[in-house]
Amino acid sequence: MFEKLGHFVVGRRKAVLAGFILVLVISGSVGSLVFPRLSSGGYEDPASASARAQTYVSDTFHIKDPAIAITVDVGTRDLMDPTVVADVQSLEATLAAKATVTKVISYWSTGGAPSLESIDHHAGSLFVYTTDADPTTAADLAKAVQSEFDGTYKSLALYVGGSSTTYVAINSKISKDLAIAEGISIPLTFILLLFIFGGLISSAMPLVVGLSSILGTFLILYLISLFTGVSIFALNLTTGLGLGLGIDYSLLIVNRFREELHAGNSVEDSIVKTISTAGRTVFFSGVTVFVTLAAMMFFPLMFLKSFGYAGIGVVAMAVFGALLPLPAILALLGTRIDSFVVRKGAITPKAEGRWAQTARFVMRRPVGIVIVSLLILGTLAVPLKDIVFSQTDSRMLPASNKVAIANAVSLERFSGQAENPIYIVVPHASAAQTQLPNYVSAISRIKGIATVTDPQTTSDVAMFQATTPLSSRTNEAQDLITQLRAIPAPAGTLIGGAAAAYTDTQAGIQHALPWALGWIALSVLLLLFLFTGSIILPIKAVLLNVLSLSATIGFTSWIFIGGHMGWLVGTFTNVGSLDTGMVILTAVVVFALSMDYEVFLLSRIREEYEKSGNNQESVAIGMQRSARIITSAALLLAVVFAAFLTSGVTSIKLLGISVAFAVLLDATIVRALLVPALMRLFGDLNWWAPKPLKRFIIKH
C-alpha cells in the first residue's frame, strides 16, 4: 500500500503539489469563517436533570437569565436617594432603548427587592435581558454596554459583568493571546528548525504539514459548527498540535529521505523507501493519536467534544500533509533539500553517536536506571494527593480585567447571586399541593441558601427560585446542590440553574471517564500489538505513559494549586483547584503525544531487530536513528506550547505548561532512560506473542 503510494507521489509530484495548494486556499478561505462562530461556553451536560429543569424554566415560565449584570455602586448615599433614583432611571432608559434589549430590571425598578441589594446597602443589581440570552448572540450588545458603561455613569459607579460580557472578555482575550503566542513561538520555532534540520530549505518543511493540518482543521471545525457548538478553546489545540505534529512528521520523513539519499539511492527510490518506512510509521502514529483524541467524544460537554473535533481533524490533516504534499516537494527538490546549509552536522545521518552511546550506557545498568527514573516520576506525582477539581469561571481572566473585577464585586457584596439563581421545578404541582409548602421551607433552612421566592404555577408546573452567595462553578456549590437534592421532594422535582448544571457536568464527566479510559487503553494496546507484534511492548508503553502523565498532572497541581513557579507561568487567580475539562484535555493530548513518540521509537527498533535479531544492538541503533527526532520534536513542541504561558487566561496557561513539561519529560526520562532499560531487562521477550496471533501483525 505505502510503496504504491510512494510511486504515485513520485509519478505525479506536480499534480499532488497543485492539489495541495488548492486545498490550502479553500481551507483558509472557508475555514476562517469559523472564528465568529466559536463559543466560550459548553460546560453543561445537555442530557442532565438541570438541563431538563432549564427547559421548563425557559419554555413554560419564559424566564431567561440576564445577558448582562451590572452592579450599581452609589457610594455612601442611600439607595433611594432622589439623585440616585434619577440617575438609575436614566441608565435604565438608555439601556432599554438599545436594539435586542427586551427588558431591564433593577433593585429600583422592582421596588427594592432584597435579593438585588448589597450587604452594605450601598449597591444594587441591574440586569439586562435580550431577545436571546445565549451569550453568543448577545455578544455585540455586551461588548457595547461594557465599553460604554463600565466605570462611571453620572453619579453612579458601574461594574459590568454577566454571562455575555464574560463570554466576550474570554473570547477577546484568547484571540489576542493566541496571536501573541504565535508571534513568539513561530520565530523561535523556525530558529530551532534551522539548527535541527541544518538547512534553510529543509527547515521550512514542517510548514507544509503544519499549514495543511491547521487550515484544514479550521475548515473541518467550520463545517461542524454548522450543526453543533464548537468551543473557542479548540483554536489553541489546533494551532499547538498542528505545529507540533507538523514538526514530528516532517522530522521523521525528511530524516529518512536524507538517510536513503546518503545510502546512494536515487531521489525516486528514496521517496518510495521513505513513504514505505517512515510514511508507514507516520500513518500508524497518526491512527494511534487519532483514536486517543477521539476519546474526547465520550464526554457530554461541548467544551470537551470540541477538542475531539479539533484533535482528530488536526491528526487527519497532518498525516495527509506528511504523506502527500511533503514527499511531492521532496521529490521536486531532490538533493537540493540540503541547500543553504546552516549546520553541516545535522545534514548527514550518523550510524553511531551519542544516542547509541546513551542507550548502551543505560543497558549496562538497567536496574539502577529504572529505580532512579521511577523515583523521579513518583516524586513529581506526589502533589496528586492534594488535587482538587472544579470548573473555571470569570476568574480564569486576569484579576485586573474589568469583567473579572465586576463579577468579583458581585460575589463579594451580595448575599445571593440573583443573576444565577437555583431553579426548583415541580412538574405536577396539583398532586404536590400539600407537600410544596414544607418542601419550600426545608430548602430555605439549608445553610448556604440566601433567599427563596414564593412558588409560581403555570400549566400544572410549579417553580420557585433560591439564591446563594456561592460561585456556581465551585465544589461548595456542588455540595449545596447535593444537599438540596437529598431533601424529600414531590415526585419528578428537578433542580436547575448554573450551580446544578455544574454539579451535573462533574457527574457526567465522572460517568464518561471510565469509558474514555477504556477506549484509549484497549485501542492503543490493540494498535501497538498490530504494529510491533508484541504483547509485552504495548503493556509497557501504556504503563509508562500513565506514570509520565501522573507526574505531569502532579507537577501542574503543584503550580496551579500550590502556587509555585509564578516567575515562569506569570500571575493568575489561584482558586485552589484545577479545571476538570482542561485536566482531561491535557491528559488525553499528553497521552496521544507520548504514543506518537513511542511509535517512532519502536518502529525503528523493530526494523533493526528484524535485520539482526540482536535485541540490545537493535535498541542502540534504533535510539540513534530515532531519539534525535523524538528529542528535537519534543523541544520544538515544548516551545510551541510554552508560548501559551504568555496568555492571561489561566486555562490556557495550564494547557501550555502541562504539554510542554510532559513532552520534555517523556523525551528524556521515559524514552531516553526507561524504555532502553526495560528493553534490556525483558530481552527477546519484548517481541513475544502467541503464535495464533502472529498472523494479525502488520508486516514492516
For residue 534, count other CB atoms closer than 10 A to its CB. 21
Cα distance between residue 473 and residue 582, in whole Å: 14
Q: Report residue 136: phi and psi, to 5°.
A: -65, -45
User: Is domain 400-503 in CATH 3.30.70, yes or no?
Assistant: yes
Going by pLDDT thresholds of 50, 70 and 90, the confidence category of residue 40 is low
Among 180-184, 301-305, 375-379, the range with the most confident prediction by mean pLDDT is 375-379
* Ramachandran quadrant class, 683 (left: phi over 0; alpha: psi -120 to 50; beta: rest): left
Which pLDDT does position 519 carry in this prediction?
A: 94
pTM of structure:
0.83
pLDDT above 70 for 3: yes
138/398: higher pLDDT: 398
Task: Provide the pLDDT confidence category of residue 13 given band limits of 50, 70 and 90.
Answer: confident
Q: What is the pLDDT of residue 292?
A: 92
Q: Express each pLDDT in 430-466 by its tens digit.
A: 888 888 999 999 999 999 898 898 888 888 899 999 9
Q: Is 59 exposed, middle or buried (0-12, 13-18, 19+ CB in 10 A)?
A: exposed
pLDDT category of residue 680 using cuts at 50, 70 and 90: very high
Beta strands at 451-452 and 461-467: parallel, antiparallel or unpaired: antiparallel
pLDDT beyond 80 at 700: no
Identify the pLDDT of residue 554: 95
Residue 344, pLDDT > 80, answer: no
**pLDDT at residue 522, as a whole number:** 92
What is the rounded CA–CA span in Å between residue 626 and residue 355?
Answer: 9
User: Is residue 171 scored above 90 in pLDDT?
Assistant: no
Structure confidence at residue 133 as a pLDDT band (50, 70, 90): low
| CB 176 within 8 Å of CB 644 | no
Q: Give me the helices (H) in 445-533, please.
A: 475-486, 498-532
Q: Per-residue DSSP letters for 655-688?
A: HHHHHHHHHHHIIIIIIIIIHHHHHHHHGGGGG-
Domain ranges across the chain: 2-41+168-393+504-696, 67-161, 400-503
- Which element (helix H / strand E) includes 629? helix 615-642
The reported pLDDT for the residue numbered 197 is 77
Region for 301 from its dihedrals, namely left if φ exceeds 0, alpha if ψ lies in -120 to 50, beta otherwise: beta
Residue-wise pLDDT tens digits, 627-667: 878 888 888 888 888 998 988 889 889 989 999 999 999 98
C-alpha cell of 166?
464574560
Looking at every residue in the chain, the average pLDDT score rounds to 87
Where does 339-431 have alpha helices with state H? Answer: 354-364, 366-381, 402-413
Q: Are 67-161 and 400-503 equal in CATH topology? A: yes
Exposed e or buried b for every residue in 634-662, given b needs 16+ CB within 10 A?
bbbbbbbbbbbbbbbbbbbbbbbbbbbbb
Q: pLDDT tens digit string along 569-628? A: 888 888 888 888 889 988 988 888 888 888 888 888 888 888 888 888 888 988 888 887
Sign of torsion, CA 284 635 549 643? Answer: negative
Phi and psi torsions of 184, nearest 5°: -85, -50
Tell me what pLDDT residue 380 has: 95
Q: Which residues on neighbouring strands pair with residue 465, listed in sequence order?
A: 423
Fold of 67-161: Alpha-Beta Plaits (3.30.70)
Q: What is the mean pLDDT of residues 549-568?
A: 92
pLDDT score recorded for residue 343: 65
C-alpha cell at 396: 480564569
